[in-house]
Amino acid sequence: MLNKYARAFFTRVLTPFAAFLIRRGVSPDTVTLIGTAGVVAGALVFYPRGEFFWGTVVITLFVFSDLVDGNMARQLGRSSRWGAFLDSTLDRVADGAIFGGFALWYAGTGNDDILCAVAIFCLASGQVVSYTKARGESIGLPVAVNGLVERAERLVISLVAAGLAGLHAFGVPGIQVLLPIALWMVAVGSLVTLIQRVVTVRRESAEAEAAASSQDSQESGAAS
């Protein structure tokens, strides 16, 4: 849902900014690299110290680069396999930094081994969810399912909760509980999404093999 509606909305909003960068001679790849560096810095500098509000502010400023670089490529008419590969690869790096930052906090000052493990699971499951779709498509299957929690949902749930939890440092009581709740939500949602995609690939694979077998039988019958 977020991919379908929110992405379309922010793409329209960010189009003038993308055009401005193009006029200044900035390339889409540069935006991708700077955006990823900003997200990684925000996550690994602020989150392990428990500064969730400021970390989320920094990450949010840079995370929109994921929309800006694609917008620039379309305006330039230069969409390429390399650009798509770079963007997708660095998305995984950014996601790993965010959940890695949460894990470092809970492994250290946050002092909660269970939530550290949940954050690590969110990191790993997010990577595997993306891999299942990419791998399924690479063997010729459509993988016609999005799943309960995709990257956009994982980021929105986690970053909104982290930003609000960070308000505890400004005297808002009890609000820090939102981050653990969000991590559990993302962990469960990612597991459900992973199962959905595995089941879909299994079904599509069986259908493809059955269709190929039927076609071979028809060709064999026609030849005889």
pLDDT single digits (tens) 32-45: 999 999 999 999 99
Q: For the chain, how far is it from start to end, CA to CA, in angstroms?
A: 52
- Residue 223 in domain: no
**Number of structural domains the chain divides into:** 1
Q: What's the mean pLDDT in 97-124?
A: 97
Q: Are 72 and 125 in contact (CB under 8 A)?
A: no
Whether the per-residue pLDDT at 219 is higher than 90: the answer is: no
> Is 70 labeled as ligand-binding?
yes
pLDDT for the residue numbered 211: 86
Nearest to 94 by CA among 50, 44, 164, 27: 44
**How far from the centroid of its chain's Cα atoms is residue 45's Cα?**
20
- Residue 112 in domain: yes
> Is 74 labeled as ligand-binding?
yes
Give the domain range for residue 78: 9-210
C-alpha distances out from residue 18 to 58, 69, 78, 186, Å: 19, 7, 14, 31
Query: What distance in Å separates the CA atoms of residue 169 and residue 102, rounded to the nearest whole number?
Result: 16
- Residue 134 in domain: yes
> Is 30 labeled as ligand-binding?
yes
Tell me which residues are annotated as active site.
Answer: 91
- Residue 215 in domain: no
- Residue 163 in domain: yes
Whether the per-residue pLDDT at 122 is higher than 80: the answer is: yes
Any idea what the CATH number is for the domain that residue 191 is in?
1.20.120.1760
- Residue 131 in domain: yes
Reduced to 3 states (helix: H, G, I; strand: E, B; else coil), residue 108 is: coil
> Is 113 labeled as ligand-binding?
no
**How far from the centroid of its chain's Cα atoms is residue 15's Cα?**
21
Nearest to 198 by CA among 120, 136, 154, 125: 136
Query: What distance in Å separates the CA atoms of residue 204 and residue 124, rounded to the nearest whole number?
Result: 25
Q: What is the DSSP letter of 37?
A: H
> Is 66 labeled as ligand-binding?
yes
pLDDT for the residue numbered 189: 96
What's the maximum distance between 2 C-alpha atoms anywhere in the chain? Answer: 82
Token duo for residue 163: 């930003």
- Residue 216 in domain: no
Question: Which of 121-125, 141-145, 212-216 has the lowest average pLDDT?
Answer: 212-216
> Is 87 labeled as ligand-binding?
yes
DSSP-assigned letters across all residues of 113-169: HHHHHHHHHHHHHHHHHHHHHHHHHHTT-------SS-HHHHHHHHHHHHHHHGGGG
pTM of the model: 0.88
Q: What's the mean pLDDT in 172-199?
A: 96
| C-beta neighbour count of 145 within 10 angstroms | 17
C-alpha distances out from residue 177 to 115, 130, 203, Å: 12, 28, 40
- Residue 196 in domain: yes
Q: Are 69 and 46 in contact (CB under 8 A)?
A: no
Q: What's the mean pLDDT in 16-28?
A: 91
Q: Quick one: 89 exposed, middle or buried, by C-beta within 10 A (0-12, 13-18, 19+)?
A: exposed
Reduced to 3 states (helix: H, G, I; strand: E, B; else coil), residue 35 is: helix
